[in-house]
Structure 1
């Protein structure tokens, strides 16, 4: 499936900033077997006095930008054409959950894709006794690693409510789990904590999700959104699989990946420092438009 993707993020500051520096993780990249990026462009206004594009440890595309003069607004615009491939059917060749740690010990690599980076606590996801206990209660005896991922993801979708007012970007997963409310970031963080607690390496995926209007309703511009879901390592044969607990499904052709990390901290779209006073306002608009629809 071919998509034209556009993203606009606007910031306005109460007072002009002095010496602003940001790292942006907004550029999609090729992922073999998952997606191909045919075109991409990230524009920054006002034009930064420094810009350096590269990759971080997890091979996510990064853009480091800086201004050495005051700015009172910032606009980030991404346009891209991306082909997302149909995922192969998932057949459960994963080991029983209680044998997964043996396969984990057989992985000799500490490369970015290695599951060892995703089994312990990370900056935004602590191991939680309450979340781990919940995860074990979701499982049947003799469950496979893949079956455990699916069982935990579907249980969280059932037991947590999507509520954009309940949390913010800094809410810890323990709080979102206690409230049983949150947004996609919270669903992902809670699921990551749950899977790690039962011995399954798990990480965070940042990207876009194509959404569909209600039957009979027109598609609204800007109705799509940046999204988060979970990847989990389920053994040497299947490797990494991706599940979206917010929408109770494995990631498919409606998902476009921007970056992978241990949690949100590793893939935050915009992160940086600035010297200013007062607050700021921000807005975001996303369109994920199939090419066939865009050409009509």
Structure 2
């Protein structure tokens, strides 16, 4: 499936900011066996006085930008064309959960894709006894004895979808997984962080995926421009034979051809689309608009 992707992020500052510096993770790329980049363009206004493109430890593409003069607004616009491949049928080649630890300790590599980086706590996802207990309880009540790793991932993701409510007003970008879990409300970032904490707690390496999800308007209703949003889901290591699998607890499904990957890491902090520092006073406002359009209904370029 070919998609046209458009993302606009705007910031407006109460007072002009001086010496602004950001790291942008807004450039989708190739993901082996998952997606292929056809073309892309990132426009930054005002034009930065410094720009350096590169990659971070996990292989995500980064764009480091800086301004050494006052600016009172910032606009980031991404346009890209991505081919997302239809996933192959997911065969359960994963080991029983109790055997995963043995496979993990046999993994000698500490390359960026190694599951060893995704086992322990990370800056935004601590190991929580309450969330770990919830994970074990889900397996005991809904999964058969000798559950495989893949089935454990699916069981936990579906349980979180059942037990948590999507609520864009309940949390913000700094809400901890413990708080979101305690209140059972949150957005996709919270669903993903809670699931990651639960998976790590029961011994399954897990990380965070940032990207986009094609959405569908209600039956009979026109599609609204900018109605899509940036999205987050979970990747989990299901053993050396099956490798990494991706599940979206917010929407109760494995990630498929409607998903476009932007980056991945241990938690949101590793893939934040805009991160940096500025010197200013007062507050700021921001707006975001996303369109994920199948090519056959995409507007002419």
Is this a same-fold pair by TM over 0.5? yes
Mapped to 1, the partners of 2:101 and 2:114 lie a distance apart of: 14
Q: Aligned residue for 2:44? A: 44
For structure 2, the residue ranges without an aligned partner over 5 or more in a row are none
Q: Aligned residue for 2:71? A: 71
Mapped to 1, the partners of 2:4 and 2:59 lie a distance apart of: 23
1:270 aligned to which of 249, 257, 274: 274
Q: Is the aligned partner of 1:220 residue 2:254?
A: no
Post-superposition shift, 1:295?
6.0
Q: Deviations over 1:65-103 (max 9, x none)?
A: 000000000000000000000011111110000100011
1:208 counterpart SS class:
strand
Q: Aligned residue for 2:201? A: 197
Q: Aligned residue for 2:13? A: 13
Q: Aligned residue for 2:183? A: 179
Mapped to 1, the partners of 2:20 and 2:150 lie a distance apart of: 44
Q: Deviations over 1:113-154 (max 9, x none)?
A: 000000000000000000000000111321110010000000
Mapped to 1, the partners of 2:4 and 2:203 lie a distance apart of: 38
Mapped to 2, the partners of 1:90 and 1:207 lie a distance apart of: 21
Mapped to 2, the partners of 1:290 and 1:274 lie a distance apart of: 37
| TM-score of the aligned structures, taking structure 2 as reference length | 0.97
Q: Aligned residue for 1:110? A: 110
2:298 counterpart SS class:
helix
Mapped to 2, the partners of 1:130 and 1:32 lie a distance apart of: 36
For structure 1, the residue ranges without an aligned partner over 5 or more in a row are none
Mapped to 1, the partners of 2:11 and 2:129 lie a distance apart of: 38
Post-superposition shift, 1:105?
1.0
Q: Aligned residue for 1:239? A: 243
Q: Is the aligned partner of 1:150 residue 2:154?
A: yes
The root-mean-square deviation of aligned C-alpha atoms, in Å, is 0.8
Q: Deviations over 1:217-272 (max 9, x none)?
A: 11111111100000000001100000000000000000000001000000000000
Post-superposition shift, 1:214?
0.7
Number of matched pairs: 296
Mapped to 1, the partners of 2:4 and 2:106 lie a distance apart of: 41
Mapped to 1, the partners of 2:230 and 2:96 lie a distance apart of: 34
1:6 counterpart SS class:
strand
Post-superposition shift, 1:32?
1.0
